[in-house]
Amino acid sequence: MTARRRPRVDHSTRISATLVGTWIWGLRMSDVLVSFVVPAYNEAVLIRSCLAAITAEVSRTGCRAEIIVVNNGSTDGTRRIALSIPGVKVIDEPQRGLVQARRVGCLAAEGEYIANIDADTVLAEGWLRTALAEFVHAPDLVALSGPYIHYDLPTPARLVAAGFYRGVYIVHLLSKVVAGTGSVMQGGNFIVSRSALERAGGFNPDFRFYGEDAELARRLAKVGKVKFTFALQAFSSGRRLAGEGLFRVLFRYSANYLWTHLFKRPFSADWLDFRHAAGATTAIGSASTIARLDLQGTKVLRGSRQESERW
């Protein structure tokens, strides 16, 4: 990544692990520092749940961690809510863009590993332990990612989305066998070695939204192993799939993945933003609560606010 003066950061407090004696396959957790980077634009409704899940994972695992929220020009209470949570740092990045926000957060990160988590995403219990164990087992691993579980979609739509992830994974495996290339990452649910990210050149500003994860995965694969595993699932809002149309979004994801690998550029330059309306009630939890979440999420999504502006 190119050199850049570190942006101003609020709250320098770092989260302290409570289980300092915890070990994972010979790795002492108190020796590990993981940086969580959460880009956020008008996520006042969901960001508290996202940060609470990250904090809980850190406490369960026992590693040292820092949580960096990149406030990307929010006009709601996103920044205030993030600052109200102990141990969370907030960086203001006025240049709108998902990739721009991720880049600024990673430049400020100090951890050996950097977890990139979207603000509408909630980590499943055991996420961090699974991720760190994978890096211990595979010294050549540079990035690890997993699929989303869209907790607030109706069951049929959620099954279609899950099938899509499995289809992408099969295509990925076939491309590895046939062509010896190909890599898959979910942009809002992955963890990467900081040194590998730097060697790969960091985030590409030519990709602002669609295709950014595929483009980064392609370059990281030249540095080391990029792995996609269903053991690293995370809960995420299906508001885009519901608001824009399930099959339309899945087609767009597929087209951008192919365009990125074939032509080194995204298929879609523009996109729509979908946010939950202020005052909406959402609930995000474990797999055992998904049925309840479907009902709440469907109701909230009918009141979602659509913005057709560029990041």
Every domain of the chain and the residues it spans: 9-307
CA 124 to mean position of chain CA atoms: 13
**Residue 167: CB partners within 8 Å, gap ≥ 6?**
none
CA distance 201 to 192: 13
Span 9-307: which CATH code?
A: 3.90.550.10
* Residue 140, φ and ψ in degrees, nearest 5: -90, 0
Write out the chain's pLDDT in tens, 311 residues: 544 444 433 333 333 333 334 555 556 666 789 999 999 999 999 999 999 999 999 999 989 999 999 999 999 999 999 999 999 999 999 998 899 999 999 999 999 999 999 999 999 999 999 999 999 999 999 999 999 999 999 999 999 999 998 988 887 787 767 656 668 889 899 999 999 999 999 998 887 777 688 889 999 999 999 999 999 999 999 999 988 998 888 888 888 787 777 778 777 677 677 787 765 545 543 332 332 333 233 222 333 333 333 22
Q: Does pTM surpass 0.75?
A: yes
**Residue 163: CB partners within 8 Å, gap ≥ 6?**
none
DSSP structural state of residue 273: E
